């Protein structure tokens, strides 16, 4: 799974130009970038809402969901 997460992060970074607007849990945010959390092998989205930087959201269900940057 470690290689899959790394490849998925590389694909995200190659195809999504940050910053980009998105909808997370019904709230409009700006995704500033992505990073990998090595201790859990998760991919995190660093988000900003308004003037403050929000928590990092975990991207889950790799391969089952799609990222729609036009939301």
Q: What is the pLDDT of residue 57?
A: 67
* Cα-trace Rg, the chain: 12
Q: What is the pLDDT of residue 70?
A: 43
Mean confidence (pLDDT) of the chain: 77
Positions in the chain whose pLDDT score sits under 70: 1, 38-41, 55, 57, 59-71
Q: What is the pLDDT of residue 19?
A: 93
Per the CB < 8 A criterion, the answer to whether 71 and 16 are in contact is no
Rounded-to-integer distance, Cα 28 and Cα 30, Å:
7
Looking at the chain, which runs of residues are DSSP E strands?
Answer: 20-24, 27-37, 42-49, 52-59
């Amino acid at each position: 799974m470690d290689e899959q997460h790394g490849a998925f992060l590389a694909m995200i970074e190659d195809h999504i130009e940050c910053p980009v607007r998105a909808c997370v849990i019904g709230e409009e945010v700006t995704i500033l970038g992505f990073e990998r959390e090595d201790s859990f092998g998760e991919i995190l989205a660093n988000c900003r809402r308004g003037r403050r930087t929000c928590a990092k959201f975990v991207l889950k269900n790799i391969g089952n969901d799609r990222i729609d940057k036009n939301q």
